[in-house]
Amino acid sequence: MSNVFLISCVLFTLFVSSTYAQSCTNYNFTSNNQMSFTSCSDLPYLNSFLHWNYNPSTKTAKIAYRHTKIASTRWVAWAINPTSQGMVGSQALVAYQKSDGKMSVYTSPITSYQTQLQQGDLSFNVSDLSATYINNEITIFATLKLDNFNSTILNQLWQEGPLSGDSPAMHDTSGVNTQSAGALRLLSGQSGTTSTKASSQFNKRNLHGLLNAVSWGIMMPIGILFARYLKVFSDPAWFYLHSIWQITAYVIGVAGWATGLQLGSESNGIQFTAHRIIGFVLFSLATLQASAMLLRPKRDHKHRIYWNIYHRAVGYSIVVLGIINIFKGLNILKPQKKWETYYIATLVGLGIIAALLEVITWCVVIKRNKSVSNTVEKNPQGLHESNWYNGHENGTNRTHYRV
């Protein structure tokens, strides 16, 4: 029993020691050109810590951002956003180790979600900028002149991502990488998490992408397969299945479109013009298609052929534009590569199914037409009368099946 107690004490001591060692208050800067800091914060995500001194009379902050447990093939960044809590508009300090072993450290203003962290001037002055990489830990040092800031509570963000050669590549867009934002209170020496809004906007972007991918990119093509191939096997059941399916896809698509509008209104200065225009065109064509069902002529109407041409042309256009816009959306969101692979695999699967159904349908139609032709040869008068009656009952004068 005493041994169990002793082991428990040792484990508890190790746990406390490990936790204490990870605290920013226990860290000492030993390099000659680095000073001690009076304030620090254990940032809640990505193994990061911030140390700083702030002089309110000169509005100057000396900071040291530490990012631990980081491989030499990755970059890190710490930023202040003067205008919002999100990524766009933030003023970043970026650092990483280049392939030759030298450190690259520079400033980068973030102007879009598709940023490649290009070097540029920030909205405030930065001096004494340097960085080190020691024991799998990158530290960025800088002096910030915050004359344009009216508050001592700042929106801060921090991030990490992979390198592509000697250039930063896109960071992960899920998990803690979407939560690494918070409030920095320069005077109180505290920081708090304020990532709720950023996380909420990220969830909306994901929902927007999911709804549109399901509706325009998957359900709409399947609905066309219903109309194209089921009519040979189940007439008129195919029509009701096609209509209900496409209306459901339309409702989901409108929900995704509306989510996109809300995202646009919440993202001032951010605009993906091509993606937005295609989205409006899709909504307009789909609404027109749904409304045109109320004006569909009967089968024997002389204008029915023109309506059919219009209906098919608009339907195929919606599917093509929907797929194009989904890939544009994937390029904007930049999710993990597997999601784009899954969608491409889905399209390939639908294409294979369509090809098989096309062959099967033509075989069935040819076989039925041969059967009709043989019957005509044996009893042309009786079949003619029967087809005349059935054709007029169904509103058509066809005696042969068509695909």
Give the pLDDT confidence score for residue 375 in this predicted structure.
67
Give the pLDDT confidence score for residue 126 in this predicted structure.
94
Annotated binding site for heme b: 208, 242, 275, 311
Which single residue is written with the structure tokens 């079949």? 383
Q: How far is it, in rounded angstroms, from Cα 388 to Cα 391?
A: 5
Q: How far is it, in rounded angstroms, from Cα 370 to Cα 366?
A: 6
For residue 403, what are its two tokens?
Answer: 């695909």
Annotated binding site: 208, 242, 275, 311
pLDDT exceeds 60 at position 402: no
CB atoms near residue 204 (< 10 Å): 15
Give the pLDDT confidence score for residue 2 in this predicted structure.
45
Whether the predicted model's global pTM rises above the 0.75 cut:
no
Give the pLDDT confidence score for residue 201 in this predicted structure.
61
Q: How far is it, in rounded angstroms, from Cα 386 to Cα 380?
A: 10
Give the pLDDT confidence score for residue 380 in this predicted structure.
57
DSSP string, 289-335: HHHHGGGPPPTTSTTHHHHHHHHHHHHHHHHHHHHHHHHHHHHHH--
Report which residue type is found at 5. Answer: F
Mean pLDDT across the chain = 81
pLDDT exceeds 90 at position 95: yes
Q: Could you tell me which residue, 301 or 332, shows the higher pLDDT?
A: 301
Average pLDDT over residues 122-148: 93
CB 74 within 8 A of CB 162: yes
User: What pLDDT band is residue 204 in, cutting at 50, 70 and 90?
Assistant: confident
Rounded to the nearest 10 degrees, the angle between the axes of helix 380-393 and helix 337-378 is: 140
User: What pLDDT band is residue 377 in, cutting at 50, 70 and 90?
Assistant: low
pLDDT exceeds 90 at position 382: no
Q: How far is it, in rounded angstroms, from Cα 167 to Cα 165?
A: 6
Q: How far is it, in rounded angstroms, from Cα 91 to Cα 109?
A: 5
CB 80 within 8 A of CB 90: yes
For residue 3, what are its two tokens?
Answer: 């041994």
DSSP string, 89-136: T-EEEEEEE-TTS-EEEEEEE--STT--------SSEEEEEEEEE-SS
Q: Which residues contact 87 (CB under 8 A, 6 or more apart)?
A: 81, 110, 113, 157, 198
Q: How far is it, in rounded angstroms, from Cα 143 to Cα 140?
A: 10
Host H or E run for residue 255? helix 237-266
